[in-house]
Amino acid sequence: MSDKKDFNLTPGEKEQYKPVTAEITCSHCGKKDTISLRACVNVSLHPEEKQQVLDGSFFMYTCPDCKEKTAVSYPLLYDDMGKALMIYLLPGQTEEALSKLNAQQETWSEDMLKAAKVCTMRAVRSINELAEKIKIADAGLDDRFVELSKAFVFAQFLKQNPGFTAVQVLFERQDDKDGLVIFSKDGKKFWAEFPDGLYDEVVSMFEDRVKNESKTEYELIDANWSMKILSNITNS
């Protein structure tokens, strides 16, 4: 796959969510193709696309020659107006792309800024993280407290599994139980459940610190973010 993070996604306001064209090279047979990528998925207008984002099929490209399937990850806005949720997938140089994206706010219309004030605005690095944010919202939870809860539960998991190397830790709700799906280096999956009452306890512990920000910027709420919050607490 070629240059998938080099799209220029900083067009003027009117064309902001027009599809972008990209060159793709099949990693299996080398066939070159030009594909059209949508810059925005609005699940209020197209509810059927939410499941496609969640299961990854939205991002799947099938080579016309050899039929090899590849996930194409590229800058995409996931917009759920019903949940007042906007998540920007920014693969690659995420921090850099994020500051560029937030700097564009100067060009936003008044309506956009008004919407931004009431929306939860997030940036994520990967398709999996995008799906995780959607699942957190579906579970009716606040992703900031989920991220802090993850830090506690994952620390506990590491204590019980010394030497374990995780490549990804994602929130899930399975059969009414909240917990973490932990992926090991060798591709194994582990489940670590949130202890009863943990999330509520985290909310009451951190609510003052976390709640009172009304931001109109896309934010990366991830393990680094929760580490910052937690280290501020231990240092103060």
**Closer Cβ to Zn ion, 42 or 70, answer by number:** 70
Q: Mask of contacts with Zn ion, 86-125, x by CB under 5 A? A: ----------------------------------------
Segment lying near Zn ion (by CB under 5 A), choices 28-36, 88-96, 147-155, 169-177: 28-36
Q: How far is the CB of 72 from Zn ion (least distance, A)?
A: 13
Number of residues that bind Zn ion (CB under 5 A): 8
Q: Would you say the C-alpha torsion 11, 15, 17, 22 has a positive or negative sign?
A: negative
Q: How far is the CB of 67 from Zn ion (least distance, A)?
A: 7
Q: Which of 16, 17, 31, 161 binds Zn ion (CB under 5 A)?
A: 31
Q: Which of 22, 26, 76, 131 binds Zn ion (CB under 5 A)?
A: 26
One DSSP character per residue, the chain reads ---TT-------GGGTTS-EEEEEE-TTT--EEEEEE-SEEETTT-THHHHHHHHSGGGEEE-TTT--EEE----EEEEEGGGTEEEEE--SSHHHHHHHHHHGGGG--HHHHHHHHHSEEEEESSHHHHHHHHHHHHTT--HHHHHHHHHHHHHHHHHHSTT--EEEEEEEEETTEEEEEEEETTS-EEEEEPPTTHHHHHHHHHHHHHHT----S-EE-SHHHHHHHHHHHHH-
Minimum distance of Zn ion from residue 3's CB (angstroms): 17
Compare residues 33 and 55 and give the one whose CB is closer to Zn ion.
33
> What are the residues whose beta carbons fall under 8 Å from the beta carbon of 95, sequence distance 6 or more?
220
Beta bridge partners of 179: 172, 193
Stretch that binds Zn ion, among 23-31, 128-136, 137-145, 208-216 (CB under 5 A): 23-31
Query: Minimum Å distance from CB 124 to Zn ion?
Result: 28
Task: Print the binding letters for residues 59-88 with Zn ion: x by CB under 5 A, - otherwise.
Answer: ----x-xx-x--------------------
Token output for 150: 């993850």
* CA atoms of 173 and 175, how far apart (whole Å): 7
Name which of 14 and 32 has its Cβ closer to Zn ion: 32
Q: Of the candidates 3, 11, 19, 29, which one interacts with Zn ion according to CB under 5 A?
A: 29
Closest CB to Zn ion among residues 64, 82: 64
Of 65 and 95, nearer to Zn ion (C-beta) is: 65
- Give the residue with the Cβ less far from Zn ion, 59 or 154: 59
**Which of residues 5, 18, 28, 69 is near Zn ion by CB under 5 A?**
28
The phi and psi torsions of 10 (rounded to 5 degrees) equal -125, 50
Q: Which residues bind Zn ion (CB under 5 A)?
A: 26, 28-29, 31, 63, 65-66, 68
